[in-house]
Each structure stands twice: as structure tokens, then as C-alpha cells.
Amino acid sequence: MLNMTRLLSGVESIPSDYEVVTEFEQYMLVVLVFIIMFGLGASLTPRDFTSALRRPQGLIIAWCTQFGIMPLLAFLLVLALIVQLPTEVVAPLALGTLLMGAVPAGTTSNIFTYFSKGNLGLSVMMTTNSTLWALLMTPLMLYIYATRFMPAEVQLEIPMRNIIVALATILIPVPIAMVVRRYSPNVGAVMELLGSVVGLFFIVFLVATWVPRNWQLLAWTPWQVYVVVIGLGLFGIAVAYAIARAIKLHPRNARTIGLETGIQNGPLAIAIVTISFAGSSQLGLVLLVPALYSLFIVIVATVVTVYFRRANVAEEQSIPDLL
């Protein structure tokens, strides 16, 4: 109980305009993601996309896991862990958890798909697809699972600006990089290498900037919240990967679907909370799960990627089709 009291006092001291990352860091992250997506785009060809469109089962399965499994998993974690906490924090923490389960995949999933030797073309298409669908499915999933936790005076808003930015970071650099690689393979190869290096820096940058500024909040957060934020990503990846393998999808596609499902768009969830709860005393508590998830999913995905990279690549290459 002392831990919870300290958490509440820490959350109450958070100003209503609290930013998980500073404005400079936000711009820095957007620039880094653009550079990374240029690098990822340089590794793609039109065939990577046409093959996914010819056999759309990967996209269909990913849609089902993204908007079927993740919201349900978030709800089960709330029932198993969040409801055990003191009454005054259950509703905001549950709402933050359910929101995190209802948002689409983020571009971070593309980075880890590349490093895990997944199907990058499918990953990019899945991220774009889930982001577009989020305009309908995120409010619907919140209506189904989160109505009981929603304060009457709060109307959740899906910020179009963040949706547009998420789509722009995919739809602008990727095709440009593909064209560059088509007409100048050497330049394209350098861009791909640069994207890989920046991708590694991106991961370190997120951890290095967030942890020192928020170490007190990390120290005061109860263990149940840590299980939720780690479990949401880890279980999402594992369940989606298991389903994809069970229906005999190519291992590269199974890895891609797992990562796309479990790696949610944390910045979008944070934007929804800060806009919808601006000036509310519950802002800090609702923001806690999306903020911690955004940190720990990078760590979880790094561990999972190391595991995936140890897959039997020679055996996978003997499988004739990706889908």
C-alpha cells in the first residue's frame, strides 16, 4: 500500500500538460523514423508488396490478431491484475491498458521485422492497413471493452494529426527509397545500411532519454502494472506468432505477424490520452500504462528479435513460398 500511496502522490504532481517525451525529442524521433524508413524502403522491391496482395491471408490474419486478440488480451490482463489494485486507480489504469490494446501497430514494428529477418513488405502493408482501420476499430474496441471504466465527462478523441504522421512516415520515405534503389543500387545499399545503424540508435535513444527523467515513477509503479505492460506486448507477439505457425504460414510471415500484433503504436495512445484528458486529474494514471508500454515494448521486441534471428534460415529458404 505504501508503494501505491507513493505512486498516487507522484502521479498527482504530474502537470496536465505532461509530456512523456519533450517537444525536441518528439521531433527527433520523427526524423529518426523517417531515416529508418528510407533505409527499410531501400531493401524492398515492388515484388515484396505484390506477393502479399496476391495472397492476402497474411494481411487478413494480422487484422484479426491486431483488433481481435490485442484488445481481448488487454481486457484479460485488466481482470487478472489491474482490478487487484486500490479502487481509486483501477479505472484509469484499466482505461490506459485497454487503449493500448486497441490502437494499431506502430512503425517500430517495421524496424524489428527487418532485424528479425521477417517479411518487411508484409510488415509495411500491415502497419498501413491497421493504421487506416484504427479510425473505426479503435473506438469500437474501446466501446466494447472500456465503457465501464470511461469517465462520463471524457470523450476520447483520435487525433488525425498523429494518424497522418504515422501514415506519412511510411508512405513517403518507403516508395522514394525503392525508386532510388531501383536506379542506383549502390546508393540504395548505403541507405539500407544507414537505416540499420539509425534503427539501433533509435532503440538506445528511446531508453536513454526516457528512463533517467522518469526513474522515480518507475520505482514507485506497482509490480502488477509492469506485468501488464510487458505481458501485453510479449503475449501479443507469442499468441499471434503461434496462430500464424499453426495455420502453416511461412516462418518469416509468422514472425512478421507476431511483431506487428504485439508492437502497438504507443505514441498514438499517448496522444489520445493527453488530448482527451487534458486538464483532468486522472491524466497521469491513464498515461502510465501507454508510457511504460512504449518503453518496455522496445526491450521486449529486442529480446524477441534476438530469439527470432536464431531461426533455422537454411531450412526456411527451402520453403518455396512466403505465403
Per-residue confidence (pLDDT) for residue 22, from 0 to 100 = 62
Q: Looking at the domain assignment, is residue 5 inside a domain?
A: no
pLDDT digit string (tens) for 159-181? 777 788 778 878 888 888 888 88
Per-residue confidence (pLDDT) for residue 160, from 0 to 100 = 76
Q: Looking at the domain assignment, is residue 27 inside a domain?
A: yes
Band (pLDDT 50/70/90 cuts) for residue 44 is: confident
| Phi, psi for residue 312 in degrees, rounded to 5 | -75, 90
Q: Looking at the domain assignment, is residue 320 inside a domain?
A: no
Per-residue confidence (pLDDT) for residue 2, from 0 to 100 = 40
Band (pLDDT 50/70/90 cuts) for residue 310 is: confident
CATH of the domain at 294: 1.20.1530.20
Q: CB–CB of 101/137 below 8 Å?
A: no
Query: Is residue 34 exposed (0-12), middle (13-18) or buried (19+ Cβ within 10 Å)?
Result: middle
The one-character DSSP state at 65 is I
Which residues does 216 contact at the CB level (< 8 Å), separation at least 6?
A: 10
Per-residue confidence (pLDDT) for residue 206, from 0 to 100 = 67
Q: Looking at the domain assignment, is residue 269 inside a domain?
A: yes
Q: Looking at the domain assignment, is residue 315 inside a domain?
A: no
Q: Looking at the domain assignment, is residue 3 inside a domain?
A: no
* pLDDT at position 19 over 70: no
Q: How many domains does the chain have?
A: 1
- Residue 264, strand partner residues: 105
Q: Looking at the domain assignment, is residue 321 inside a domain?
A: no
pTM, to two decimals? 0.83
SS (H, E, C) 242-267: HHHHHCCCCHHHHHHHHHHHHCECHH
Q: CB–CB of 22/181 below 8 Å?
A: no
The residue among 272, 34, 40, 297 whose CA lies nearest residue 161 is: 272
CA dist 256 and 113 (Å) reads 6
Structural domain of residue 102, as residue ranges?
A: 15-309
pLDDT cut 70: percent of the chain above it: 82
Q: Looking at the domain assignment, is residue 144 inside a domain?
A: yes
Indicate the length of the chain as a whole number.
Answer: 323
CA dist 156 and 33 (Å) reads 27
